[in-house]
Amino acid sequence: NGHKSDSRGALIVLEGLDRSGKTSQSSRLISYLEGLGHSVESWRFPDRNTGVGQMISSYLTNKSQLDDHAIHLLFSANRWEKRSLMEAKLRSGTTLIVDRYSFSGVAFSSAKGLDMEWCKAPEMGLLAPDMVLYLDIPPEKAAERGGYGGERYEQLEFQRKVAHSYQLLHDASWKSIDASLPMEDVEKKLKEMVLDCVTTCQKGKALSNLWS
Ligand code: 2DT
């Protein structure tokens, strides 16, 4: 009686400090899943292509200044404007590998001193990821990798605070991976976890919302 249609794609989020390897690992996961014949898309937040995204981009590159609360809400709005597309993709069977999501939103804003519960509130009702893969790396080690760009937030002292905020956000859907291991080792672990999650969602795991 239509239960087959409950099969769906997985919502998989990669989180971690700058230079933790999220972007490289994300493209490896995409190739891996495509190779297995899965329908999969690479997403990232902020999505700088929308109108809201352009305001965010201008803030991150220090071309504009905004109140901490205001930029927090823009990051959240940027996810809300993609929510219905996200749900449609998942229901049509496409898995999404998402580079940063609400956890970045809360971790970065609370690292500035905003109240964590206040930060979570606008995220409530967005789709909850099926799995959050946290690429765990000490801030000092990430900084050694070099290549912090010139964007706002890309400073060791601030990254330490973000790491602390991330620690407060861990819940049952989180999987931490030691991201200071060689890239190939990290990749191998991620592939196993992702495949497992994709299979569970294909079997018809229900979608749910943050933060309930
Ligand atoms: P990228 O370097 O990954 O493009 O991220 N950020 C991100 C927030 O402060 N709030 C959010 O909700 C999101 C998604 C993290 C750009 C920077 O924006 C931060 C780094």
- The residue whose CA is least distant from atom 11 of ligand 1 is 105
The minimum-distance atom of ligand 1 relative to the CA of 76 is 12
Enter the ipTM: 0.99
Mutational test site, ligand 1, from 108, 120, 159, 166, max ligand atoms within 8 Å of CB: 108
Spatial contact of 176 and 17, defined as CB atoms under 8 Å apart: no
CA–CA distance, 47 with 43 (Å, rounded to integer): 8
Q: If you measure from the C-alpha of residue 73 to the centroid of ligand 1, how many angstroms do you get, rounded to a whole number?
A: 13
Based on the number of CB atoms within 10 Å of its own CB, is 148 exposed (0-12), middle (13-18) or buried (19 or more)?
middle
Residues 6+ apart with CB under 8 A from 27: 42
Of 209, 194, 192, which is closest to residue 101 (Cα–Cα)?
209
The minimum-distance atom of ligand 1 relative to the CA of 72 is 10
Structure tokens at 210: 């943050």
Please give the chain's pLDDT, 212 residues, in tens. 445 558 999 999 999 999 999 999 999 999 999 999 999 999 999 999 999 999 999 999 999 999 999 999 999 999 999 999 999 999 999 999 999 999 999 999 999 999 999 999 999 999 999 999 999 999 999 999 877 878 999 999 999 999 999 999 998 889 999 999 999 999 999 999 999 999 999 999 999 999 97
11-16/95-99 β-pairing = parallel
Residues 6+ apart with CB under 8 A from 67: none
The torsion of the CA quartet 92, 97, 99, 105, rounded to 10 degrees, works out to 50
The minimum-distance atom of ligand 1 relative to the CA of 56 is 18
Q: If you measure from the C-alpha of residue 44 to the centroid of ligand 1, how many angstroms do you get, rounded to a whole number?
A: 9
Structure tokens at 13: 């989020």
Q: If you measure from the C-alpha of residue 143 to the centroid of ligand 1, how many angstroms do you get, rounded to a whole number?
A: 17
